[in-house]
Amino acid sequence: GENVEQHPSTLSVQEGDSAVIKCTYSDSASNYFPWYKQELGKGPQLIIDIRSNVGEKKDQRIAVTLNKTAKHFSLHITETQPEDSAVYFCAASGGYSSASKIIFGSGTRLSIRP
């Protein structure tokens, strides 16, 4: 079945610097890649998503890139702020074995140093 790997598991960056989280997926049929932010004690919140017919998408300080050939996708956060501290999950959907269900990566705990 589909497998999503996420790196790094923890990431600490200075406030104002950029943060990058990388993911790979195994099922070449996957066509939808959402990113979720989870704060302590809360449910995952969708922050951005990308579909397979697009290579890059940007929303203010957040951008995602997708390389379908390499089966890689990444999240970029620029000008990081303290409120960006959270756990971030990449995910994939739409593969042969995943269809409508979302397959999550293992998460990246992002800490922003003041």
Partner 1 sequence: NAGVMQNPRHLVRRRGQEARLRCSPMKGHSHVYWYRQLPEEGLKFMVYLQKENIIDESGMPKERFSAEFPKEGPSILRIQQVVRGDSAAYFCASSPRGGRSTDTQYFGPGTRLTVL
* Residue 100 near partner 1 by CB under 8 A: yes
State which residue, 73 or 89, has the beta carbon closest to partner 1: 89
Q: Nearest approach, Cβ of 77 to partner 1 (angstroms)?
A: 19
* Interaction of residue 43 with partner 1, rule CB under 8 A: yes
Q: By CB neighbour count within 10 A (0-12 exposed, 13-18 middle, 19+ buried), where does 20 fall?
A: middle
Coil, strand, or helix at residue 83?
helix
Binding characters for partner 1, 46-85, by CB under 8 A (x = yes): x--x-x----------------------------------
Enumerate residues 6+ apart whose C-beta is below 8 A from 53.
none
Cα separation of 21 and 6, whole Å?
7
20 scored as a contact of partner 1 (CB under 8 A):
no
Q: Which listed range, 18-26, 62-70, 73-81, 99-107, lies at the site for partner 1 (CB under 8 A)?
A: 99-107
Among 34, 73, 84, 110, binds partner 1 (CB under 8 A): 34
64-85 burial, b at 16+ Cβ within 10 Å, e below that, comes to bbbeeeebebbbbbeebeeebb
